[in-house]
A and B are shown apart, each in its own frame.
Chain A
Amino acid sequence: GAGVSQSPSNKVTEKGKDVELRCDPISGHTALYWYRQRLGQGLEFLIYFQGNSAPDKSGLPSDRFSAERTGESVSTLTIQRTQQEDSAVYLCASSLQVDRAVYGYTFGSGTRLTVV
């Protein structure tokens, strides 16, 4: 597709369960970013990929959070043993790394995660 695709768009899960969130970036975009946005708040950086490598994982809030990227394409954000404070919209963005200044980020519509 032409844009960044995220799935599922909505996810309700029980506390303690694991969840996987998927991001399909724009084809050819080598850089991929995950952000979290709690209700009424700004964007919180989680992790960034350049190709399949993650040079910056500094934003992952705990070891329950992990992410991977394969084929310089799809990325999966996994949250283990979900807690209620994990409830948020998880946003994925991609960019052409070579000259990010020209293109900026393109964001997906996000996955709204609700932990009950």
Chain B
Amino acid sequence: DAKTTQPPSMDCAEGRAANLPCNHSTISGNEYVYWYRQIHSQGPQYIIHGLKNNETNEMASLIITEDRKSSTLILPHATLRDTAVYYCIVSDTNAGKSTFGDGTTLTVKP
């Protein structure tokens, strides 16, 4: 699996958009970008994934650059409950281990 790089922490004001970046410059053609988040004392929760097109679901949007070397997770209207550690991982579609880095700790402030 390709390695990812994320900032260790970010702050966001409640109600504003939270934009979480991820670099994955060594991603290969068959690898997807996945985002998970982990709220304190819980297991990680799947948020969204994509290959090369931008994706949107009820939780978030995922913007992947044309060269696929980086992506941004967007929480359009952050709430206090979105405070969590956000993990960006890249992995191919075959079942197998996924490597979780240290993630970004997002703190949403009132």
Contacts and interface: CB of A to CB of B under 8 A. Distances in A.
B36 A31 contact: no
A99 B93 contact: yes
Contacts of A28: none
Contacts of B96: 48, 55-56
A41 B95 contact: no
A83 interface: no
Interface stretch (B10-18, B73-81, B98-106): B98-106
Interface string B65-100: 000000000000000000000010000011111111
A33 B97 CA distance: 7
Given A42-B102, A42-B103, A105 B44 contact: yes
Interface residues of B, number: 22
Interface centre among B42, B49, B95, B96 (most CB of A within 10 A): B95
A105 B100 CA distance: 12
A91 interface: yes
Contacts, number: 59
Give the interface residue-count category, chain A. 20 to 34
A73 interface: no
A23 to B, nearest CB: 11
Given A91-B44, A104-B49, A97 B95 contact: yes
Contact of A104 (B36, B43, B103): B36
30 contacts: A4-B43, A35-B100, A42-B102, A43-B44, A45-B97, A45-B98, A45-B99, A48-B97, A55-B96, A56-B96, A56-B97, A59-B97, A95-B95, A97-B95, A100-B95, A101-B32, A101-B49, A101-B51, A101-B93, A104-B36, A105-B36, A105-B44, A105-B46, A107-B43, A107-B44, A107-B45, A108-B43, A109-B42, A109-B43, A110-B43
Given A45-B97, A91-B43, A104-B34, 20 more contacts: A35-B100, A42-B87, A42-B102, A43-B87, A50-B95, A56-B96, A56-B97, A93-B44, A95-B95, A100-B93, A100-B94, A100-B95, A101-B32, A101-B49, A101-B51, A101-B93, A105-B46, A107-B43, A109-B42, A110-B43
